[in-house]
Amino acid sequence: MPVAHQSNKVILTHPSGASAEVYLYGATLTSWKVANKERIFVSEKAILDGSKAIRGGIPLVFPVFGKGKAPHVTAALPQHGFARISLWKLLNSSDDANAVTAEFGLDHTLISEENRKLWPFDFSLVYTVKLAAETIETKLRVHNIGEKSFDFNTLLHTYFLIPDASKVKVIGLSGIDYVDKVLATTAHQEGDIVIKGEVDSVYANVKSPDVQIPYVAEQGGVQLHLKGLSDVVVWNPWAAKAAGMADFGNEEYHKMICVEAGQVAEFIALAAGGSWEGSQILSLL
Ligand SMILES: O=P(O)(O)OC[C@H]1O[C@H](O)[C@H](O)[C@@H](O)[C@@H]1O
Interval between CA 100 and ligand 1 midpoint (Å): 30
Give the residue, by CA position, lying nearest to ligand 1 atom 13.
200
Q: Give the tens place of pLDDT for each residue, 176-210.
A: 999 999 999 999 999 999 999 999 999 999 999 99
What is the largest distance, in Å, between two alpha-carbon atoms of the chain?
53
Interval between CA 66 and ligand 1 midpoint (Å): 7
Ligand 1 atom at minimum distance from 245 CA: 1
What integer is the mean pLDDT of 139-154? Answer: 98
Domain that includes residue 34, residue range: 3-284
Contacts of 266 (CB under 8 A, 6+ apart): 204
Provide the whole-model pTM: 0.98
Indicate if 157 belongs to the active site.
yes
Q: Do the Cβ atoms of 77 and 152 come closer than 8 Å? A: no
Instruction: Name the pLDDT band for 160 (thresholds 50, 70, 90).
Output: very high
Tell whether omega for the bond before 237 is within 30 degrees of 0, i.e. cis.
no
Q: Distance (Å, rounded) from C-alpha 212 to C-alpha 160? A: 12
Please calculate the CA angle 46-82-61 and round it to the nearest 5 degrees: 75
Q: Give the tens place of pLDDT for each residue, 119-137.
A: 999 999 999 999 999 999 9
Average pLDDT, the chain: 97
The total of structural domains in the chain comes to 1
Q: Do the Cβ atoms of 262 and 81 come closer than 8 Å? A: no
Contact 233 CB / ligand 1 (< 6 Å): yes
CATH of the domain at 171: 2.70.98.10
